[in-house]
Each structure stands twice: as structure tokens, then as C-alpha cells.
Chains A and B, each alone.
Chain A
Amino acid sequence: MDFSTFVGAAVHDMKNSVGVITAYLEDLLARQTGEGADATLLQQTLHETQRVNGNLVQLMAIYKIERGLYPFNPEDIDFVEIADEVLARVQPLARIRHIELQAEIAEDAPGWYCDRELVVSVLTQAVFNALRYTRTKVVLGVVLTPEGLNIRVDDDGAGFPAFMLAQDYPQPGIDTQTGSTGLGLYFARQVAALHRHKARSGQTRIENLPQGGGRFVLVLP
């Protein structure tokens, strides 16, 4: 047994614990009446727990993808369902922060072949991230473009700082100012690259919107 096997097993076990903690917190929250300080505290605890889970899931997935062990499994997925699932996960936090969540799925954006778990994981993390920096709302949009299915997460915050928009981002290591590890974007890029159709493969990018705010884009060919 080498060290990475222990890491794998430990992450696995941690995920189980996080799952139980999450469920207990949800249960406690359901018993709260009104919007008191306790409820807000519980919501924040729940959110942090979900962040831990998200990170563990991504670490596990990257570990497997890089060793060719990830059981990549594209299925025909309806993006209305994907949006429902992603927004259901972030809704509790959005509520206490008074942020509005919107899904804008274009009528002509059909079902699309992708790995459900990976895509949900990327988008959930992107929406959580947007929630931290936005002012009033976060929009999960899906449109069909010539490059493929275009899934975007828009916020109306201050937009991405210049260093993040640079070509070589993310570099491994933690940014002391933002607390960002770059793991989310690295993971998103790995996931995009797994999705291929004919000669094309998926992509990610971040950009700033002309009207202000940031946009994360996942393109699936």
C-alpha cells in the first residue's frame, strides 16, 4: 500500500462522515421555526460542510481522472434537470444571503451527452463561488452555440481580478488574499477535457461581463 491509497481510503471515509453531518444539519434546520440567528448559523455551517464535500469530491475525481481510473459515463442529460439539481443544492445559502437564483435554459438547448456527476459538481462549485462575490443575483444559463452547449454562471459582483483572467491561472498554491486554491477551475478544466465529440473537446473560461460582474463558462462539444 502506498500513501495515495491511504489518501483515497481516507477521503472516502471523510465523504461518508460529511454526508452524515450534512443530513443532520438539514434535519436540524427543518425543525427550526422562523429565520432566527440559530437558523442562519446552521445554514452557514451547512454551507461550509458542503464546501468540504465539494472539495473532497473534486480531489477524488481528479485523482482518478489523472490515473485513468475515473468511470467516465456520458449520458443524455436534460439541462433543466441539471439546473434544478444544482440550484437545489445552493438554494439554502442563497436564501440567507438574500441572493436571487435564476435558471435561464434556452428553448433550443436540448438534452446533451455528458457525465452527470462531473458536470453537476463543476456547476455547483461555480455557483457557490459566484454566490460569494455577487451583489444581488446569480444566473445559471444554458445556450446552444456553434462550439457546442454553452453553460454559464453569471454574477453581478466586481468581476474577476486581472491575475485570474491571465492565461496561466490557476497555479497550484493558495492565494492568501482570496483564499482560493484554484482547485475548482483546475477541476473544471479536467472535466471539460474529458468531454469530446469527433475532433473537438470541452473547454472552460472565465471572463468579465461588459455590464459588470463575472462569468464562468463551460463548453461541452
Chain B
Amino acid sequence: MNDVFGSRKFLLVEDFETMRSVIRGLLRRCGAERVDTAASGDDATKLLARERYDVVLCDYNLGVGKNGQMLLEESRFKQWITPTTVWIMITAEKNSDMIFVAAEHAPDDYLLKPITEGMLQTRLQRLLARKAALAEIVAAMRAKDYARAIYLCNQRKQEGKHVADLLRLQAQAYELNGDAERAATTYHDVLDRADVAWAKLGLAKLRAQKGDDDGARVLLEEIVSAHPHYLEAYDGLAQLLERKGDTALQLEILQRATRISPNSSARQAALGSVAARSGDMQLAAQSFQRSIKLSEHSAMRTPTAMLGLARVQTETGAPQAAMETLAGVERDFADPQSRLLAKSEALRAHVKAGDEAAVQVAQQQLMDLTVGASEAVPADIALQVAETLMQCGRQNVAAELIQFVARNNHEDQTLAERAQRVFDSGGMGEAGRELLTASRKQAAEAMSEGVKLLGQGKLPEALQSMRHARALMPQNPRALLNLAYVAVVSLEKAGWDAPLAEEARSAITAALALSPGNARATELQGKLQKLTPAH
């Protein structure tokens, strides 16, 4: 037994010094030889980034700064720990925040204080055995080899151990493999044995995916009434009600959930958004502020709450405060999307403040960061920006941006419908419909013209036409790859031409950025590689 623990590397994270030496003593008596300790989340971060641990014992409450949960999420995200690392959360008492985190963020187990030698030993042995038994399946899931994961689950279930874990993994694997029917059967198997919240939630999500929102709602309401502490069910219900547009009930559900657990940053932000939508600006501001505070030390933080708060501040007549909040976004988030959304909120604040010069500048920046961007902006973000422009009375600029999005995604009907709603919101319903139809038609024609010319063997004309198509929709992977294809064919027929090769290469790179792993892009990349003359 001593060998089992003696060969492993342990990390103990505990802020309370007495407890730290007590638990370290327990680990020693259990046979652990290599035990590192950390007194705070920050200390632990440094150790985790540097060393590989087999077992992490971590107090949930770490005083100021990060708590145990944030440390776990960061460690998974940054891959400081592997699928075989056992993470045990230590706590003085069971609470909803800790027990009912979403499965992907859950620790392997939690230990309630006081921890005794016997309890630590049996629990550690069991967890190490479970991790070892499931490691191969988890690795297959990570490698997206779901067929193998399913096969392994079936095989291991015969042995009769860890059946619940295996069923859960198997249901997940079926889902990810696109086999909703078998995933549902697996959840039903679990529910036949006991009323288990995660299985019911899984079933509810499957129903919602099929478009059966009413059926999903029945299940979610059952979970909420039978397991009032299972917070994921409230989140699911809130999302469903948002789709239905039932803001009042969505607000009520999220308020109930935040009363049970006020410590989820994401849920507070969701509450803030719904509160703002239903006109309760005080609650909205309060929830966004809580959300910001809660994620202060988290590596997973997003700018959602700060952007939401800025909007509330603008709308309640405090554009200066909004600008300060947005300066915080610029300070804390370096990614282009966060900056774009911050600029977009800034436009609202400038309009509210009546600063026409600043409005002009912000409006131009928004166009530079979308239509003029060298990297693609996700269509839904671009539409959000367009909506802001629309609501700020910048109809012409907004229309230009929407047409750009529509050309780049001319095959996407759902997106066209959303774009139409943005036009509607700016009072441009009819004009918008015509603009949308025209830009989608223009894009589709540009796309097919090049293909037709290529079919007729008119290579130079096809190339010209594809260039035109790319200029119209620089963020459409198909337009980019069509251009690259014609360029590669020209290189094959007419011989090496460095500028043309560069044009093809840049189109392929842009397409891959939009659609990572795109098979056609990688194929063209290979062809181009072969054509490149050796130096």
C-alpha cells in the first residue's frame, strides 16, 4: 500500500497553516513521500505550472484571491493537470456551489473535514483506481475517437465497477458522435435505477436539441422541483425561456438560482442581462457588478459582465461611468472580439453624452475592425455591432456592415433572418429586405460565375472573377478556396509565378483561420507545396 502512494507526487493547497501541517502529516502516514504544499491559490498556480502532480488535495476556501474551484478550472484549461490527475476538493461542509458545478468543472471528489487517516487512505486508493480504470476512455474522448470510447465503456461495464461513471461517459460519447438516440437510451438506463439529476438534464438537452422545447421544459422543471440544488437545471431552463422570449419567467428562475448560489460569475452575468432586458436596471447593475467581482481572480473570465454593466450605465444616463467600465475591458482583455464589443458599447456612450466628434471616430473604428479587418469577425458579433449602429441612428453604416456579413455568409438562411431582425430594429424592415436579397444574390452570382468560367476552360477570366468574389466576401472560406484553387491550377498549367503563389497561399491561410482543419484547404496547401520550386 505504501508503494501506491510512495511513488506518486502530491500537491496540498491549504491556506490555514495548522490544517496544512495536519493534512501533510496524514499524507505522510498514509505512505506519501513526495508532498509539495502551497498556502495560496497564487503559490499553487506557480507549482502547478511547473510540476506534474498525480494527486492534488485542495481546500475550496483559500482566503483572498482564487478559490479552489477557480484553481481547478485554470489548471484544466492550461493543461497543468492530465486526465489521470486526481483532484480532491477539501471543505468544512457541503455546499451547493461546490457540489453542483457543471460536470466538466467538477473535481474527482471532495473530502469533508475533519479528515482522518483511514478516510484519506480508502478514498485515495479508490480514486486512483477509478482514474486508472477510466483513463483510457477519457483519453479516447479527448482524441475525439468516440467509437473507441463507446466500445471501451461497453467492455468495462461487464466488470461491474464504476458503472455510473461509465454510463455517463458513454452517454457523452454517443452525443458527441451524433447518436442522440443511443445517448437517450443510456440516460433512460440510469433513470430506471434512480432519479439522477445529471441523466435527466442530459435527456432534457437532447430534447431541446431536437427542437422539443416543451418536452425539455417538463424534464427541467422536474429536476428543479426534485433537486432544488442542482443549479445546471436552472441554467438550462433559463436558456429555454430565453428562446421562448419569456423574460419574466427567465428572470424569476435565475433569481431563484442565484439565491441558492450567489457565487457563479456566469449566472450573475446572465441574471444581469435578463434584468436589463426586463427594465430592472438596478438589479442589472448589481448583478453585473457581482459577476465582475466574482471572476476577478479567474483565468476563465469573459468581458460579458463589464460590457453589460457599461450598457446599463449608458442607458441610465451615466455615459462617463460606462466609459470607465469599458476602459477596464480594454485593460483586461487583449482579444480583438472583446475590443470590438467594447468599442461598440463606447459608441452608445458617446451618443448618450452627445459627443458627435467621438461618435464619428468610434463609428469609423467599428468599420475598420469589421469590414476592414484582416482577420474574420464572427458573424454574430458583427451583427451585434450592426445592431448597436442601428440603435445609435447610424442606419447607413449599419446597413453597409450587414450587407458585408450577408455577402460573406450568403448561403446561411438563419443568419439572413437574424440580419433582417437587425434591420427591423432600426426601422429599415422593407429597405433591409431588398438590400439583403441583393447582396446575397450578388455574392452567389460572383461565386458561380468563376466556377462557370473555369468549366469553360477560361482560366484567366476565371481568376479575375474569383478575385472579384474574394473582394466581395473576404470572409467566406469557399470564395477564398475557389480563388486558391484557380491560382493553383494556373500555376500547374502556366508554370511558377511567385506573386500568384503568394495570392493562393494568403487565401488558404485566411480560409484556414475561418475554418480550422478545412480538408479542401489542407489539400490545396499540399498541392502548392509540391509546385513550389526548390531553392
Cβ contact within 8 Å between B94 and A12: no
* Min CB–CB distance A104 → chain B (angstroms): 18
Q: Which of B72-80, B107-115, B412-420, B492-500 lies at the interface with chain A?
A: B107-115
Cβ contact within 8 Å between B100 and A71: yes
B334 within 8 A of A: no
Contact with B along A55-97 (1 / 0, CB 8 A): 0010010000000101111111010010011001101000000
A133 within 8 A of B: no
Give the residue of B92, B116, B118, B165 whose beta carbon is less than 8 angstroms from that of A16.
B92
Q: Which residues of the partner chain A approach B163 to less than 8 Å between Cβ atoms?
A: 76, 111
A169 within 8 A of B: no
A30 within 8 A of B: yes
Question: Nearest 10 A-B pairs (CB), nearest first?
Answer: A88-B118, A19-B114, A76-B164, A113-B194, A23-B22, A71-B96, A71-B229, A19-B113, A71-B99, A22-B114
B235 within 8 A of A: no
Q: Which residues of the partner chain A approach B364 to less than 8 Å between Cβ atoms?
A: none
With contacts A76-B163, A111-B164, A197-B194 taken as known, whether A15 is within 8 angstroms of B118 at the C-beta atoms is: no
User: For residues 139 through 166 of chain B, which have their beta carbon under 8 Å from a beta carbon of chain A?
Assistant: 160-161, 163-165
Give the residue of A24, A27, A60, A196 whose beta carbon is less than 8 angstroms from that of B93.
A60
Cβ contact within 8 Å between A196 and B119: no
* Min CB–CB distance A52 → chain B (angstroms): 10
Sampled A-B contacts (27; CB under 8 Å) = A12-B92, A15-B113, A16-B92, A16-B113, A19-B19, A19-B113, A19-B115, A20-B19, A20-B114, A22-B114, A23-B114, A26-B26, A26-B29, A26-B116, A27-B29, A53-B114, A68-B228, A71-B94, A71-B96, A72-B227, A73-B100, A76-B165, A89-B116, A89-B119, A111-B163, A117-B112, A197-B195
Interface size of A as a range: 35 or more
Cβ contact within 8 Å between A85 and B119: yes
Starting from the known contacts A27-B25, A81-B122, 5 additional A-B residue pairs (CB-CB under 8 Å) come to A19-B115, A23-B22, A85-B123, A110-B160, A198-B195
* Min CB–CB distance A141 → chain B (angstroms): 19
The CA-CA distance from A26 to B25 in the complex, in Å, is: 10
Contact with A along B16-55 (1 / 0, CB 8 A): 0011001101100100000000000000000000000000
The CA-CA distance from A23 to B119 in the complex, in Å, is: 12
* Min CB–CB distance A193 → chain B (angstroms): 14
The CA-CA distance from A23 to B14 in the complex, in Å, is: 15
The CA-CA distance from A72 to B56 in the complex, in Å, is: 25
Cβ contact within 8 Å between B114 and A72: no
